[in-house]
Structures are given as structure tokens and as C-alpha cells.
Amino acid sequence: MHNSESVNKEIYRLALPNIVSNFSIPLLGAVDTALMGRLESEHYLGAVGIGGIIFSFIYWGFGFLRMATTGLTAQAFGERDLQECGRLLLRAICLGITASLLLYTFQWQLADVSFLLIGTSPEVEHLARVYFHIRIYAAPATLCLHAFHGVFLGVQNARYPMLLTIVVNLVNIVLNLVFVRLLGMKVEGVALATVIAQYVGLFLAILLFSRYYRGLLRTWRFREILAFSKLKRFLNISGDIFIRTCCLVFSHAVFTAKSAALSDTVLAVNTILLQFINLMSYAIDGFAFAAESLIGKYKGAQDMGNLKKTTHQIFLWAFLFGGVIMLIFILFGEQLLHLFTDQMRLIEQTKPYLIWIIVASVVNVAAYIWDGIFLGATASKALRNSVILSTFLFLSAIYLLMPFGNHGLWGALTVLLVARGISLTALAPKYLFRQDESGS
């Protein structure tokens, strides 16, 4: 059995590249927000916020292509079944391409339903529709990248996902600046930059895999990709994760819709504050991704001792990291607002709500880390049930706290995260720490 020092080394090896790559994801959103926040109207900022929520719903909804693939690949890696790792990649890619075709086919209906659910002003909706119908063409690249990220993390390689994420986001940021600043484009420039960057990332992923991991596909056969028992397990886990993710994105969509219902200014304020939430969550998710890789490997190897020890150590480091983030927001929160907008009125409107970001820095940690641990163990039913319960409590909190305005909205969002953390803590003994419990 590994001692704590060697477990920590494995956590560092996987978590640090994930933290670096994850920080570049909200950086992209921050650049989008900053570019739109400096245009002549706050409608552009709201449009990118609404468009981002819609694509979060779409791509987070298909996040099982990464999450299920990571857990299952890590378990196959722990069992030393390397050919199954390759077959998992092909299964996920087949599902990703099929999903992309469906998104293309029904994009107009999808847009109509989305804007019906997220009511906003006609000006913001028009701009958000422009953004939507351009960015939808990134779907095949984005979904196939989910599959590559899942397999790389599953085989304990966090460096390639880091490289892919950084390259995609740097290309995206550079193109954003070119299209918006130099060419005078607005929301259409931000959307087009995302499409191009995603295909650059997919090309690089194929290049890396074919150069260093082609051995995983040496003996694959199509009937093995579609083997009923393997495909059924993949789809069952993916279905649970899909429901879990839809509940989370639905909750965030409700939050955004309620923000828009209060006013366009509150929508702009919360779009900025959600960038802080993203920065914090992506940082902590570095440890959650490490948990997916390590917990999956130890479950596949039936190493319960290291599974428990890794769980303990990852929580320790994640809470320490959350404390550092909290300190940064306490000391520099107001100054950080200037990164997102130069409109002083908007900054003044945002300041009273920074307290919710400070609280979230530590309060949200348990939900994020348990997510990674349960995903690595493919304990998907527990994740699904936890989020269904938490979403119900969130909607109840929205109903009770809306009379308090935007503070009520942020209180309800905090309820969602706290409920996830508590419920998963309660479910952990049954789904994670029993030797004979599959959890999936």
C-alpha cells in the first residue's frame, strides 16, 4: 500500500496539469466577458452570457462522453486491459458524432426552445441567436474532444488534456481579439473564434493519440466497439451522468433566467460574478479530475486501501486550495471586477454580491470533489440521485428567496451546492467504500 507521501505525489502529478488547463477555460470566458463588457451596450454582454448558458446546457449535457470515458478507462487501466481503453475511445467518438448530427438537424428547434425557457429582452435574444447559429458548428469537434480528454485522463495522462485545453483556449482568445478588436465584429466574432479553435484542438488530439497511443487500437474490431454488455454499461452510466448534468445546467439556466427577469443590469452583474464562480470551480476541479483518474484506477485494481487514502488526501488539498482562493477574493475581489468591465455603474452594482463568491470558495469544495470521486468509481446512480434531490431543494429555495432579489438568487444557488456536498457525503459509505459494491 502506498504511504501518504506517494499518494500525494500521484495527486500532484495529475492535479497540477488539470489546474493549469482548467484555469485557461474560465480565462476564455473572462476574455469574452471583458470584450463584450467594453462595447457600447450591455446587451452584448448579456447575449454572450445567454449564449454561453445554452451551450453549457448542450455540452455539459454531453459531458458524459468525457466523464463516463474517464472512469471506465481508468478502471480498464487499473485492470491492465489496455485494448479496452482504445475501444472506449471509439465508443465515445461514435456517440459524439451521432449527437453532433442530431444537434445540426434540430438546431432551429433547439434555439427556439432555449430562448423560450430563458426569457430576455428582444435585443439580447437577437444577438444571442446570432451567436448560437454560428457556434453550433463546433459540435463535432467539441464532443469528440470530450472523448479524447476522457481517455487521456483514464490512462493517467493529465499533460495531454492540459496541452489541448491551453492550445484551444489560446487560439480562441487570439481569434477573439482579432475578430472583435481588429475586424470590428461583435458576438459573431466570439462565436466564430470558438468554432475554429475547437477544430484546431481536435486535430491536435488526433495527432497526439496517433503518435503515442496508437497501440491501444492495435486489435480493435467493430463488433467489439458495439459489444452489447460493454455498450449497455457505457450507456447506463452515461444516462445517469446525463440526467445529473441536465439537472445542474437546468439549475444554472433557471438562475440566469431569474437574473434576466429582474433586469438586464442584474443579468450583466451575475454574468460577471459567474466568471468568479467558474474560476474557482475550474481550479478545484483540477483535484476532482485527479480523483477521477486515481479512484478509477484503484477501483479497477480492487485496491480499497489506496482508494480511501486518496479520497482523504484529495479532500485535504482541495479545502486548503479553496481557502487560498477565498483569501484572494477577500483581498482583491473589488479590483478583479475591473478585469471584466470598465462601466463604473456596473461595478458598483456588482460589489454587494461579492460576499457570495467568498462563501462559495470553501462551501462548494465538497460537491466538486465528491463528483470526481463518484465519477471515477462510476457510481453514477448516486450522483444522479444526489443532484435530483439538490435541484428540488434549489427550486424550493428560489421560490422562498426570490422576494429578496438578487441576494435571494445567490442564496438559492448556494443551497444547491451545499445540498450536493452533504448528500454525496452521506452516500459515500454505500457506493464507494464497500469492496463488493459496483456502484454503477
The per-residue pLDDT for range 241-298, each reduced to its tens digit, is 989 988 987 898 789 888 888 888 888 888 888 888 877 887 888 899 999 999 999 9
Q: What is the torsional sign of CA 418, 419, 421, 426? A: positive
pLDDT band at 101 (very low <50, low <70, confident <90, very high): very high
Helices (H), 263-378: 264-300, 304-337, 344-350, 354-363, 365-376
- Whether the CB-CB separation of 373 and 425 falls below 8 Å is answered with no
Q: Average pLDDT in the 330-353 region?
A: 81
* The three cell numbers locating residue 194: 470558438
For residue 338, the model assigns a pLDDT of 80
Percent composition of the chain: helix, strand, coil (DSSP 3-state, to 5): 85, 0, 15
**Distance (Å, rounded) from C-alpha 2 to C-alpha 8?**
10
DSSP secondary structure code for residue 136 in this structure? G
436 pLDDT higher than 60: no
Per-residue pLDDT at 24:
65
Q: How confident is the model at residue 438, as a pLDDT?
A: 44
Three-state secondary structure readout of 257-279: HHHHHHCHHHHHHHHHHHHHHHH
pLDDT of residue 3: 66
Cell of 427: 452516500
Give the number of other CB atoms < 10 A from CB of residue 191.
25
**Half-sphere CA count of 89, side-chain side, radius 13 A:** 23
By CB neighbour count within 10 A (0-12 exposed, 13-18 middle, 19+ buried), where does 109 fall? exposed
Query: pLDDT grade, residue 431 (50/70/90)?
Result: confident
Enter the C-alpha cell of residue 247: 439537472
CB 379 within 8 A of CB 439: yes
Average pLDDT, the chain: 86
Count Cβ atoms within 10 A of the Cβ of residue 38 and give its class: 0-12 exposed, 13-18 middle, 19 or more buried.
middle
- Indicate whether 26 pLDDT > 60: no
Chain position carrying cell 446587451: 43
103-107, 193-197, 270-274, 369-373: which has the minimum mean pLDDT?
A: 270-274
What average pLDDT does range 190-214 have in this prediction?
Answer: 92
pLDDT tens, residue by residue, 369-418: 999 999 999 999 999 999 999 999 999 999 999 889 899 999 999 999 99
Residue 113: pLDDT over 90: no
- What value does the mean pLDDT take over residues 116-130? 79
pLDDT digits (tens, 9 = 90+) for 145-184: 999 999 999 999 999 999 998 899 889 889 988 988 888 7
Q: State what percent of residues in the chain have pLDDT above 90.
A: 41
Mean pLDDT confidence for 128-139: 90
For range 50-57, the mean pLDDT: 78
Q: How confident is the model at residue 30 (pLDDT cuts 50, 70, 90)?
A: low
Give the CA count within 13 Å in the CB-facing half-sphere of 93.
16
Domain residues of the chain, as ranges? 4-431
- Residue whose entry in the numeric block shows the C-alpha cell 444571442: 128
